[in-house]
Amino acid sequence: MKCPGQDTRYWKPGDIFEAACPNCGAPVEFFKDESTRRCKKCGQLAVNPKMDFGCAAYCKYAEECLGELGPDIVKKRDDLLKDRVAIEVKRRLNRDFRRIARTMKAARYADEIARTEKADLPVVLSAAYLAEIGATTEGADEVRAILIGLGARAELVDEVIAVIGEATSETPDSRSKNGRIVAEAYALARLEEGHRDPAVLNILSTETGKGLAQKLLSKGETA
């Protein structure tokens, strides 16, 4: 017996619909259970706008199941991944509440700076969550294992490990934008913890980071 959800005899009006091609605007006809369809006019691969691709964030068989993942699906997959990374990091750090607290503070600052500075949010946040684990060579291997286990794309895994390396290195001038943001996020987390080392402020290069630091310092002076 065929599943009623897949048997077109049981479909309702709207289960077959049209959506505009993201490239040329021509109508593309979708069945409700199709993940993608190629535009007959320009050949662009169009993503079904009504389908929920949440499983693609963690399923290692996503590409085999959904075919050629379009950029919209890849972006959603990366965005959802960072939430799973946060859960896994808390599990790995177990009862080390000091490191957990610092990681969560840093991730919060990384999120705010990355959004304002238009950085790569999935990479920055994943790196911020994993920096406490991945600061050493052995830690980088553990980070790679975590991300692969969560179904991250190979490119994203390499980017996150590179950003962690930049953020924890002693050569700030060689950092990318993402690396600078993660380094700033941890500097701000230490500042929030009460560390008033002037060297911490030297790490800050973005206007967003400097503004957050001033707020933290002002709170310290009035406390």
Residues near 169 by Cβ (< 8 Å), separated by ≥ 6? Answer: 175
3-class DSSP state for residue 22? coil
H/E stretch holding 37: strand 36-38
Write down the pTM of the prediction. Answer: 0.67
Which pLDDT does position 223 carry in this prediction?
Answer: 45
Residues 164, 134 contacting (CB under 8 angstroms): yes
Spatial distance between the Cα atoms of 155 and 177, rounded to a whole number of angstroms: 17
pLDDT at 9 exceeding the cut of 70: no
Q: What is the fold, at CATH topology level, of the domain defined by 75-222?
A: Hypothetical protein af1432 (1.10.3210)
Average pLDDT of span 22-32: 86
Give the rounded percent of residues in the chain with a pLDDT score beyond 70.
76
pLDDT at residue 28 tops 60: yes
Q: Classify 5 as helix, strand or coil.
A: coil
Q: What share of the chain is helix, strand, coil (3-state, %, to 5)?
A: 60, 5, 30
pLDDT band at residue 4 using 50, 70 and 90 as cut-offs: very low
DSSP letter string, 77-113 = HHHHHHHHHHHHHHHHHTT-HHHHHHHHHHHHHHHHH
Predicted local distance difference test score (pLDDT) of residue 8: 57
Q: What is the pLDDT of residue 2?
A: 43
Residue 52 confidence class, pLDDT cut points 50, 70, 90: low
- SS3 label, residue 46: strand
For the record, the structure tokens of 143 come out as 């980070």
**Six-digit token string for 104:** 């969560």
Residues near 202 by beta carbon (within 8 Å), at least 6 away in sequence: none
Count how many Cα atoms sit within 13 Å of the Cα of residue 126 in the half-sphere of its side chain.
29
